[in-house]
């Protein structure tokens, strides 16, 4: 008579390092999502409910009135922001790509000096150029216009976009450029048919970065548009705060409306960010 012996497996104790790792990951996720949760809970409350509850406490009777009020106030400014953010992002990326290509693959004297002066533009604070910038915009007749913001953000976005594209183009072998020259391609054709098809990743990275920078800007929108119809969403969101009493539910609802465009951009294109930021960092 045979007896089946079932070997009892020893219970494996969890790895202390893994437990410690998951503890910190959960803690970081909690800290990261807590402001978003607080904003959402506040936006779902009425003005009266805010008095008797804390920001992270869920509302007893959720209300969407704050979202409707905030949308009525921000719908036009959000459209204004999209009208100058998208063109400024595209123009700065295109011009940055062309500049990065010229500084990397077109050999000429003084390229490094020109690149140095372009990079200096990254470190110039907005406040340092505000007065001459306003004077130039007024002279061009663009004060209070969407086109004035497009020109300003495009000019300020070219240096960082140039840096991103140059870092990527440094990793492209010169043999591709030489092969195009042998085939009779000039500088323009080489850029369009050789460099540009390889530039999807840096374009995505530069577009995400530049879109976020332009979308979140407050200073230029506040100074260059005033209180006109071209007011961007960042300024309109600030004005939701009010002068004497702040409706925090409307303020938080407006904040959530304001974050949707940039959140969509990150969700759609975010997977390219790490790959793009590493472009040029590892030399094979």
Of 161, 157, 160, 148, nearest to 222 by C-alpha is: 148
Q: Give the confidence band of 244 by pLDDT, cuts at 50, 70, 90.
A: low
Task: Name the band, by pLDDT with cuts 50, 70 and 90, for residue 11.
Answer: low
Measured CA to CA, the distance from residue 48 to residue 54 in angstroms comes to: 12
What was the pLDDT predicted at 277?
A: 58
What is the pLDDT at residue 226? 75
Q: Is the pLDDT of residue 272 over 80?
A: no
What DSSP assignment string belongs to the chain?
------PPPPPPPPPHHHHHHHHHHHHHHHHHHHHHHHHHHHHTS-HHHHHTS-TTSPPSS---HHHHHHHHHHHHHHHHHHHHHHHHHHHHHHHHHHHHHHHHHS--TTHHHHHHHHHHGGGS-GGGGHHHHHHHHHHTT-TTSHHHHHHHHHHHHHHHHHHHHHHHHTTS-HHHHHHHHHTT--HHHHIIIIIGGG-HHHHHHHHHHHHHHHHT--HHHHHHHTTSTT--HHHHHHHTT-SS---HHHHHHHHHHHHHHHHHHHHHHGGGHHHHHTTTTS--
Half-sphere exposure of 153 (CA within 13 A, CB side): 32
Q: What is the mean pLDDT of residues 204-212?
A: 91
Asked if the model's pLDDT at residue 1 lies above 60, the reply is no
Q: Which of 94-108, 125-139, 242-256 has the lowest mean pLDDT?
A: 242-256
CA 152 to chain centre: 17
Residue (of 271, 87, 278, 69) closest to 170 by Cα position: 278
Q: Please, are residues 167 and 280 in contact by the beta-carbon 8 Å criterion?
A: yes
Q: How far is Cα 134 from Cα 42, in angstroms, rounded to an integer?
A: 38
The pLDDT score that the predictor gives to residue 80 is 94
- 110 pLDDT more than 90: no
What pTM does this model have?
Answer: 0.84
205-212 mean pLDDT = 92
Whose CA is closest to 199, among 121, 249, 272? 272
> For a pLDDT cut of 70, what percent of the chain falls above it?
91
Q: How far apart are CA 273 and CA 269, in angstroms?
A: 7
pLDDT in tens, 41-83: 999 998 888 888 888 889 988 999 999 999 999 999 999 999 9
Count of C-beta atoms within a 10 Å radius of residue 229: 11
């Amino acid at each position: 008579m045979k007896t089946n012996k079932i070997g009892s497996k020893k219970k494996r104790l969890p790895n202390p390092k893994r437990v410690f790792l998951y503890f910190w990951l959960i803690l970081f996720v909690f800290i990261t999502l807590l402001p978003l949760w607080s904003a959402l809970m506040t936006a779902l409350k009425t003005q009266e409910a805010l008095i008797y509850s804390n920001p992270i406490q869920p509302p007893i009777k959720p209300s969407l009135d704050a979202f409707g009020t905030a949308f009525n106030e921000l719908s036009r400014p959000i459209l204004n922001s999209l009208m100058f953010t998208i063109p400024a992002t595209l123009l700065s990326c295109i011009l940055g790509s062309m500049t990065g290509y010229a500084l990397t693959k077109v050999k000429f004297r003084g390229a490094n000096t020109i690149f140095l002066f372009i990079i200096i533009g990254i470190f110039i604070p907005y406040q340092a150029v505000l007065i001459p910038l306003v004077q130039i915009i007024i002279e061009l007749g663009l004060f209070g216009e969407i086109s004035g913001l497009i020109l300003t953000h495009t000019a300020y976005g070219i240096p960082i976009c140039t840096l991103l594209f140059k870092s990527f183009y440094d990793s492209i072998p010169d043999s591709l450029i030489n092969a195009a020259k042998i085939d009779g391609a000039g500088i323009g054709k080489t850029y369009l048919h050789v460099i540009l098809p390889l530039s999807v990743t840096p374009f995505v990275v530069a577009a995400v970065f530049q879109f976020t920078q332009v979308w979140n800007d407050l200073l230029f929108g506040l100074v260059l548009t005033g209180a006109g119809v071209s007011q961007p969403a960042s300024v309109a969101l600030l004005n939701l705060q009010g002068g004497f009493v702040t409706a925090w539910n409307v303020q938080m609802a407006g904040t959530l409306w304001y974050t949707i465009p940039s959140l969509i951009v990150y969700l759609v294109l975010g997977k390219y960010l790490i790959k793009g930021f590493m472009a040029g960092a590892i030399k094979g």
